Every structure is written in C-alpha cells, then in structure tokens.
Amino acid sequence: MILRLLNTLAWKRPELHLRMIVWWVVRKSGYFELVQRCRDELVESPLQVSHLELVPGRSRKRILYVIHWYELGGAESYALYTIRIARELGHKCFCISTVPGQHKERSAFQAQCVETLHYEGKTTGQSFENFVADYMREHLIDVVHIHHSALMYEALPVLRQEFPRILIVDSTHIVEYYSGGFPRLSAQYADYIDTHNVISKNLIQVQKAIYRETFGSELEHKKFFLTYLSSLSKAESIETRNPNRSGKVITFYGRLVAQKQPNIFVAIIEYLIAEHPELDVEAHIYGEGDMQAALQSKIKKSKCPGRFHFFGRCDDKKAVFESSDILLLTSLNEGVSLTSYEALSYNRLVVSPDVGSQFELLCQECLVPLTSKFIANAAERLFEFLSNEAQYNEALTKNAHNLEHIRKQEVSCAAIDHLYANQL
C-alpha cells in the first residue's frame, strides 16, 4: 500500500513524494545517520595503490565472479572492468549472476569469460550453496570475487568450510539507507571473507561500524582494500565549454529507475524555470529503465515540455558531456557515482544530493542536503552556478583537485594483480 502510494505521488506530487521518502526511507533507518557519522572518521587505506607495480611471473588463477545480474549499473560496470583486467593478466574468468533480469549486457561478460551462467533455483532444482559448490569443484576455482550477490554472501559459511584455502574477495559500493544493502552483508559475513574491496573511504568506516555493532568487536583495518573507480572514466578531449552560449543545458545521465529518482529531476527543472523564467535553460535526459514511459508521459503534461529533450540510452559520453553545462544527480543514495567521475573527467560541473560518499569527490558547494526541501534547494544551486561563471569555475576547480587526489588510489592492473595474488 505504501509503495503504491509513493509511486502515485512520484509523478503527481513529487515534493510530497520526496518528503515521504526522506522520512520513511532515509530518516527512519539507522543507516543514513551511520553513513553521515562515519564521514568524520575517515582514515587512509591500509595500502597505497599508487605504490603497487605489476609482478611478472605470478601464477594464473581460475576466478569465479558472482554478480547481481548482467546489466551495467555501477557494481556491474566495475565487475566487468575487474574481469577485463584479470583476463589481460592471464587469469581464467567465470561468471554467475544470481538475480532475475533482462541481462541485456550478458554478451559483454561472455566476451571476457570462459563461461557465464545465470542461477535460477527453480530451473536447476538445487540450492544455491550446492549449485555453486559443485561448480567450484568442477572448474577448480582458486578465487571467488563477489560483486553484489546476496545469495553468495549467505552461502559463505558453507563454502568456507568446504573450501578453506580459496581466496574470497568482495566489492561493495553503496549503503542502502533502508536496509544497509551489500555493505551490511559484507560486514555480517566478514569472518568468511579475506579482503573487502571498497570504492570509498567512508565504506571502510561504515562496514567496521556495522561489524562492531553486530559482533561487539573490531573488524581488522588491514582487511580493506580501497580502489576508487575514477579509472573507469577516462575522458576524450572535447571542446571547451562556452559559458556565453545561449541555452544552458542541465543533464540527467543514468538508469531511469526509482533509486535515481528521474521524477525529481523533472520537478527540479520545472521549479527552476518557474522561479527564474528569464533563464535560458533546457534539460537533456539520457537513459532507459522501467520509469521511462511514466517519465515521458510526465514531461508531455509539464508546463514547459519544450524545455525537455529525451535521448534514450547513449553510450557516447563525449557527445553527452560536450553538450552539457551541469550534470544533475537526484539519487536517493550513491556510493561515488560513475557519472560524477565521467562529468568531471570531461570538465563539467556536478550537482548532487549529499548522500553516500559523494562528498569524497565533490566540494560542498556541489552537494545539496537530502531533505524535504531538496527540490527547491537544488534548483537554486543550479541557478547560482548557471548565472555566476566565477562560482561555477571555483567549484569546478575544487572538484578537479579532489579528483586528482582520488586518482592516486584508483583501481589499476597492478592493484587487481595484487588483489588476486592475496598480497595485500
């Protein structure tokens, strides 16, 4: 009943929808406050990636990747990236997905793996523990790398007992404020995991805090391996942004799903135009997902439908950001979003909710608190940047400095080589 009401309000009363989301999903969960609290406790990674070098002659492994599904969200993009590096290093890669879906990107995984499977319990007639144990024995697996699979976490006690010498690694990205998500599972099953690969400093503290609250003891700091995902977003050269051109462009670039809140993006643009009708601005929307039809219907009924331009999915990032002035994120939560890295690598500004670990990349001026007034506050922040070039450039410079620092700890071939050699 509550989910149905939220879905209705998402399109008819986005400001009320946001108020309910903030109260119900964010403020009423313990994880939102936990993530915020851990921001004040950041420490350096136990290992500095920039100091690592490829070691020739390492033994090659047979690595099983267990993922959510064959789509390209942030976790799956990173999974595919690690698989590509592992293959380049000479490892044999196998992949199993564990959540039903359209699996539209399975061919990309097939191009890198010896085999890709999707576990479907009803079809196999086996429990996942038995299925994956049989698979690991048959394919002589040396390393298991978990990229967002609840089934695999739950199977770890059985698998660790049966395969005590196998290296088990997991990668986590984002804390779901309502449930804790995969970082919670990672912390709760930490005793069965050799290395926690995280994509932000904040996640280290969050998972240690969850472990502490669950077991009353400390999770060893040396078990964490920080690799920022900035290396997934290397830009081509594009034309320098012209601040004097007419028609500023605010861009939405991502999946059209509830977590990304594209309905809130539309509401912010409508608010911005209503409050500042003199502003020559348009909105470009790139993406696909289950909210696409509703989003297009909402735009048609908007008071300013001509200001919105829908392009569908576009993998040509150069074209997306060359025509953009500001990337606007409206997600309920994030880790450190890949689209933020992409926009900054193309020298474009990002305005984002102050959620997850976005603060590790973006300066405070680009972060808008996720409150019931987010729509109005985000619209005003956009107006300030679009009407004040000095302010825009100052924020861009701060973000570029943050990105430069982050790149010293970004994922690399040498980092993945050390990860699978268990030399951390």
Sheet holding 308-312, edge to edge: 308-312, 281-286, 248-253, 326-328, 349-353, 367-368
N-terminal to C-terminal alpha carbon distance within the chain? 48
239 torsion bin: left (phi>0), alpha (psi -120 to 50), beta (else): beta
User: Phi/psi at 122 (nearest 5 deg)?
Assistant: -65, -30
Q: What is the reported pLDDT for 10?
A: 65
Residue 252 to residue 329: CA distance in whole angstroms: 7
Closest CA to 103 of 73, 58, 133, 81: 73
Question: Which residue in this structure is represented by tokens 């701060």?
Answer: 398
Closest CA to 159 of 62, 64, 61, 95: 64
Q: In the structure encoding, which two tokens stand for residue 156, read together? A: 């770890």
- What's the longest Cα–Cα distance across the chain? 68
Task: Let me know: does 352 contact 366? Beta carbons within 8 Å.
Answer: yes
Say how far residue 48 (Cα) sits from the centre of its chain: 22
β-sheet bridge partners, residue 280: none
How confident is the prediction along the chain (424 residues), in pLDDT tens digits per residue?
455 655 666 667 777 778 777 776 666 777 888 888 898 888 888 888 877 888 777 789 999 999 999 987 888 999 999 999 999 999 999 999 999 888 889 999 999 999 999 998 766 667 999 999 999 999 999 999 999 999 999 999 999 999 999 999 999 999 988 889 999 999 999 999 999 999 999 999 999 999 999 999 999 999 999 999 999 887 666 666 777 677 899 999 999 988 899 999 999 999 999 999 999 999 999 999 889 998 899 899 888 999 999 999 999 999 999 999 999 999 988 999 999 999 999 999 999 999 999 999 999 999 999 888 999 999 999 999 999 999 999 999 999 999 999 999 999 999 999 999 875 4
Element (H, E) at 267: helix 262-275
Secondary structure of 110-162 as H, E, C letters: HCCCCEEEECCHHHHCCCHHHHHHHHHHHCCCCEEEEECCHHHHHHHHHHHHH
Question: Which residue in this structure is represented by tokens 């990205």?
Answer: 173
Q: In the structure encoding, which two tokens stand for residue 117, read together? A: 């499977």
Element (H, E) at 10: helix 2-12
User: Phi/psi at 254 (nearest 5 deg)?
Assistant: 165, -175
Residue 406 to residue 257: CA distance in whole angstroms: 28
DSSP calls for 199-216:
SSHHHHHHHHHHHHHHHS
Residue 44 to residue 201: CA distance in whole angstroms: 7
Q: What is the reported pLDDT for 379?
A: 98
User: Phi/psi at 193 (nearest 5 deg)?
Assistant: -115, 135
Element (H, E) at 299: helix 292-300
Give CA separation, 24 vs 34, 102, 260, 334, in Å.
16, 30, 17, 18
Closest CA to 329 of 150, 174, 156: 174
Question: Going from the N-terminus, what domains does the chain have, and what CATH number goes with each?
Answer: 41-227+408-420 (3.40.50.2000), 248-387 (3.40.50.2000)
Q: What is the reported pLDDT for 196?
A: 97
Task: Let me know: does 261 contact 291? Beta carbons within 8 Å.
Answer: no
Task: Let me know: does 156 contact 311? Beta carbons within 8 Å.
Answer: no
Closest CA to 232 of 199, 186, 255: 199
Give CA separation, 312 vs 95, 126, 315, 408, in Å.
29, 39, 10, 34
Residue 28 to residue 32: CA distance in whole angstroms: 8
Q: What is the DSSP letter of 180?
A: -
Say how far residue 70 (Cα) sits from the centre of its chain: 15
Number of residues that make up the chain? 424
